[in-house]
Structure 1
Amino acid sequence: MRKRSLIVAVSAALLSGLAAVPAHAEDRALPLPLLPHVPFYRTDTLAAAHRPEPLRTDGLREIDAEYVYDGRVRTVRDFLRRTSTRGYLVLRGEQILDERYFGGYAASSRFNSWSVGKSITSAAVGAALAEGRITSLDDPVTKYLPELAHSGYAGVALRDVLRMASGTSYDETDYADPTKGSTATTIRMVAGTALTDQAREIRRERPAGTRWNYDSMDTFVLGWVVARATGRTLPDYVRERIWQPAGMETPALAGSDYAGNAIAYCCYHATVRDFARFGLLYLREGRAGDRQVLPAQWIRDSTRATEPYLRPGHLRPDKPAAVENTYGYGYQWWLGDGDRGDYAAVGILGQFVYVSPRDGLVIVKASEDLNSEATMGEAIHAFRAVADALRG
């Protein structure tokens, strides 16, 4: 119990430590105990592939580019510095063009996905759907999880949960508030309240499928559905159907609560190169080597806005200046505006897996950015500047 109490105290300090972050924090050493890439929960190991997807590292160079954001000319080099980047990689095809590490990290370091993990869990849903373990995205959550029959998820279609449009009451607008959203959920999890029990407590706020609301509990429920539908734990299923078939080079870790429920909404710990391989899987429309790991149609469906309220500029109609409106939303992926067709997996503290099919490009950024909620909108401009410079 003493060990559990210590973990609870450290974890609560880690999560609530965001409350002390200045509104415009610049690149600086992180104040302990904010250790964003260190697991503070149970983990399962995702074994690497026997034959990793090869990535070439000849011809590495630093790629800088200028772009205009918020009325100012900026550079990618400065963006990486200001946003406390710790790992950064630019991949075109199998060729790594630029790879850099900062602050003592290296290519062998594992980084916490944070909410980039939502896109990995979404991929697991796609795999289970392709196998027929999930019969339809129009199925209600309770077909697989009757335990939620008296919760806000009763009758809600899996498709709406994927879109963050479950209609449930969950306020994830302030990570500095330890009583709200995923911050509260994670602190309670570490203190011993199972995520399944927390999901049962969720109530409905509006009709499903009518409005986007960022909700980490939605992603936990998706992971729980995958586990129930497949008869496997989510980490085991991700390992068998995604991690190994996609050719990952290094074992990864996946976080769980004390009851063994996969967190699912975050907390996959992997190297920058393997996050890049995950992006490459989507860039190649679900293929890795000569194997179709995920259906191409799943990739296309996941990375487009299927309803008007999911289009770029429409996610937060209540707050037009919100950074979320820089993007649209698919099946747990953030969508770029305009006609580029680019999209990204995004996590708090500045984690990104950016994919640009038009440019054949994947960019990974692992960070310790205390101002990430503000700089999230700038990131896509920096990534597009890199793509333009390479095309140039």
Structure 2
Amino acid sequence: MKKLKKINFLAFALLVLTTLTSCKVGRFIVYNFADIKDYEKFPARKIETGPTKFHFSTTTKGKVPEELTVKDKKYPFEKYLADHKTVAFMIIQNDTIQYERYWQKYNEASIVPSFSMAKSITSILIGCAIDDKLIKSVNEPITNYIPELKKSGFDKVTIEHVLQMTSGIKFNEGYKNPFGDVATFYYGTNLRKAVSKMTLKVEPGKQFEYVSGNTQLLGMVLAKALKDKTVSSYLEEKIWKPLGMEFDASWSLDRKKDGMEKTFCCVNARARDFAKIGRLYLNKGKWEGKQIVSEDWVTQSTKIDTSNGSAWYYQYQWWLPTKTGDFMAKGILGQYIYVNPKKNLIIVRLGKSKDKVDWPELLANLGQTY
């Protein structure tokens, strides 16, 4: 009898767990906030690398900082990184790896989710689609590609508005609310339906507000423009294979059958391959003599611009930590691709969390003094 009760209890527990993980709120409760292992939790499309691999040069005499200055205090460089939940850190200058170190059982082959660094990758693909004439221009209304939003007044929202986070959409970016918009987009199983319910709260082109819904709108625009291709296959075609990525990657989906890429997050890859995204933009969109995305697109994505409600520190899904020409992609748990063109420098930091560190300031200071 006891054995039967135990079996029934286990069956009930399994049923509850299955039910929970099949809906948004259930997923939120079970998984409980974003985690560095989230790539294991969601269905995904594979992104394959090509036969030719690009490898950064290496040196036995790398320039390694002895210390970091944080809020006017000095700390031992490696100890600070290790103490603040870093799992990977790379410094690449002049196409040479000056420093590469992993912690907490991670190594060069370890997969780490990009989180919002995927926003910058999505922006690159929008630029590629314009180059390929799949999208006419950033001045097109997004309803040319998502006509179901016409009824909600989105015919005034352009592709540039969503690139600049000035669309005026109503979107709750709170990460602790299981009923909020971010939870719906991250844990939900129907992004198309979620997008169709979006509304505006202010007129587009008036003010900047960083919300992930904008980048999912970009993903919908891109998916419609690609027609028979998926966003993942386009990333493979335009970026992953041409850049000679060392490893295959994946892009997490909202659901397994007919799933849509979570373009506001969730490209799952390795530190060295994330660094190549930085190298592409460091070289103004050119890779080994071939223009992958137009130089004009890279310039527009990384220049200071405060017109039409945009913020000087955010351009076309890239962050500008200072006004000196550097830029970065960043994710919620402290994932960063930092680029300083003046120093011909790329820094990648991946972590289990930000651990209350102002990483943009730290990376910008390191980049400027390196």
Give TM-score, length-normalised by structure 2. 0.87
What does residue 290 of structure 1 align with? 289
Structure 1 residues 268 and 305 mapped into 2: Cα distance closer, same or farther (>3 Å)?
same
Question: Aligned partners of 1:213 and 1:14: how far apart in 2?
Answer: 30
Structure 1 residues 212 and 383 mapped into 2: Cα distance closer, same or farther (>3 Å)?
same
Any idea what SS the aligned residue of 1:49 has? Answer: coil
Structure 1 residues 35 and 73 mapped into 2: Cα distance closer, same or farther (>3 Å)?
closer
Paired residues of 1:241 and 1:293 also in contact (CA < 8 A): yes
Question: Mind listing any 5+ residue stretches in structure 2 that lack a counterpart?
Answer: 1-13
Structure 1 residues 368 and 116 mapped into 2: Cα distance closer, same or farther (>3 Å)?
same
Instruction: Give yes or no for the alignment of 1:5 onto 2:15.
Output: no
Larger radius of gyration: 2
Question: Aligned partners of 2:185 and 2:29: how far apart in 1?
Answer: 14
The amino acid of 1:209's aligned partner reads: G
What does residue 344 of structure 2 align with? 360
Paired residues of 1:63 and 1:386 also in contact (CA < 8 A): no
The amino acid of 2:172's aligned partner reads: D
What does residue 360 of structure 2 align with? 380
Instruction: Give yes or no for the alignment of 1:265 onto 2:264.
Output: yes
Instruction: Give yes or no for the alignment of 1:204 onto 2:200.
Output: yes
What does residue 244 of structure 1 align with? 241
Deviation at 1:66, TM superposition (A): 4.4
Structure 1 residues 135 and 207 mapped into 2: Cα distance closer, same or farther (>3 Å)?
same
The amino acid of 2:186's aligned partner reads: T
Instruction: Give yes or no for the alignment of 1:333 onto 2:330.
Output: no
Question: Aligned partners of 1:60 and 1:263: how far apart in 2?
Answer: 41
Paired residues of 1:90 and 1:98 also in contact (CA < 8 A): yes
Paired residues of 1:83 and 1:350 also in contact (CA < 8 A): no
What does residue 10 of structure 2 align with? none
Paired residues of 1:54 and 1:94 also in contact (CA < 8 A): no
Structure 1 residues 358 and 156 mapped into 2: Cα distance closer, same or farther (>3 Å)?
same
What does residue 60 of structure 2 align with? 59
- 1:294-309 mapped onto 2 (5 Å cutoff): 294-307=293-306, 309=309
Question: Aligned partners of 2:120 and 2:182: how far apart in 1?
Answer: 16
The amino acid of 1:361's aligned partner reads: L
The amino acid of 2:216's aligned partner reads: F
Structure 1 residues 39 and 60 mapped into 2: Cα distance closer, same or farther (>3 Å)?
farther
Measured against aligned partners, the alpha-carbon deviations of 1:167-205 in whole angstroms (never above 9, x if no partner) come to 001121x32222324234212x1xx3x101101111111
Structure 1 residues 243 and 4 mapped into 2: Cα distance closer, same or farther (>3 Å)?
farther
Measured against aligned partners, the alpha-carbon deviations of 1:107-156 in whole angstroms (never above 9, x if no partner) come to 01111000000000110000001111100100000011112222353320
> Aligned Cα RMSD in Å?
2.3
Question: Aligned partners of 1:75 and 1:151: how far apart in 2?
Answer: 54
Structure 1 residues 346 and 370 mapped into 2: Cα distance closer, same or farther (>3 Å)?
closer
Question: Aligned partners of 1:42 and 1:153: how far apart in 2?
Answer: 30
Structure 1 residues 40 and 150 mapped into 2: Cα distance closer, same or farther (>3 Å)?
farther
Question: Mind listing any 5+ residue stretches in structure 1 that lack a counterpart?
Answer: 19-33, 313-327
Paired residues of 1:66 and 1:385 also in contact (CA < 8 A): no
Question: Aligned partners of 1:335 and 1:220: how far apart in 2?
Answer: 21
Any idea what SS the aligned residue of 2:221 has? Answer: helix
The amino acid of 1:230's aligned partner reads: L
Question: Aligned partners of 1:355 and 1:39: how far apart in 2?
Answer: 29
**Identical columns (%):** 28
Any idea what SS the aligned residue of 2:252 has? Answer: strand
